[in-house]
Structure 1
């Protein structure tokens, strides 16, 4: 008979739904509290986020707003998205609080590091895009602008563009967490992941082609980190196998039973 999770208690469906509603309300409250504190600085936040593009605009050129309400709605939308990003630790904490009672002790020991790692890696992906990818991409776009064409980007179009890249790089940096989870729950093993490494590399470039603008620079800047993070996930998965006492995929466990019956000494 399988052991029940620690502190497991029967709860009716209504109680689960009530707890879920409470935790969702806490997430919404955290987002709006952060948004309320940032709303006064909405214009400055947009100025900061648009800096990677503005520094490569031709002399005398500026960003433009083609819609009447864009000067207000675009910074407003950006501030709301920033509030969601900043509230992510609170959101994930509420998710953890909802699912933790149903986990075993050994599951909680690995789930907490994965939860913290996912937050850090998501922010690392956004920082990587802002400080490294954006300057390279916008410098490339500015350098290939045809003669006689003035590069004047619409602020709403720019926001949609960078949000796509932020989410793409933020999710791409979650690859190690996904790999560790797949190994931990037994869907795949380290040997299989190493075997399909060439296909994973090709898949990284395909994902980079889909999620980034149609230029080789941004595609490569997304694909290469994804591949390196995949290798990091394999390494972390190997360490988890070692700590759990599982045999390494390169050889057999010395203490594993064999199919040959023991020889009988006369």
Structure 2
């Protein structure tokens, strides 16, 4: 039976935290597990009744291959994988920092190579997936768009450097937000709330605020103003966050550190 999200077999090369999150999201979105194979040296099961192999399957040609191992494993994987790929195979890489040029050098056969940068909420179909490709194949790009959009919000970049910056924002961003949630809960605990209650309230608050930001036609700065009454408790807290532009400076330095590391990883991949 045809799969509405897949034109043929899907192989995942590796299945760590991000790969398994994408896989869970795809199964929830309706991908047939029988159309998926996971290749991982350990052979460890991934659930959903999905076939797991220690070597590339010999009984099919993949329509899509997702590189989901660690970036440092690229040169160990490429010699085995590259010869079995077809010109019509769409190669999708979620390897942070590994540029299109580096992928093409190792996988010359596929007509379409796509870089994707998902984040962990794809597991709940609430993720963000940045996409970049130098391929002009409209049909292939549309197919990738549909597959990634089933995980949440998918957005293409025309410039690879902007794709990498977008990846720093959305790929690493959840970790930064989790730290902020933790900081809010810890501060409330230090002021007297029980630990568990402080964590629950901070998490629930962020979930509601994120929904409000996503659905509102107003920007976050305006929404913050709407929450804050003149001379009130919210304004008092915002005065601390806004003092000396310290929050904006901290976040800018955080994103720059992520982008800088992405550039370093790209250089490492180019060197091989």
User: Would you call these one fold, judging by a TM-score over 0.5?
Assistant: no
User: Under a length normalisation based on structure 2, what TM-score does the superposition of the two structures give?
Assistant: 0.28
Which has a greater percent of helix? Answer: 1
Greater relative CO, 1 or 2 (CA 8 Å, sep 6+): 1
**Bigger radius of gyration:** 1
User: Under a length normalisation based on structure 1, what TM-score does the superposition of the two structures give?
Assistant: 0.28
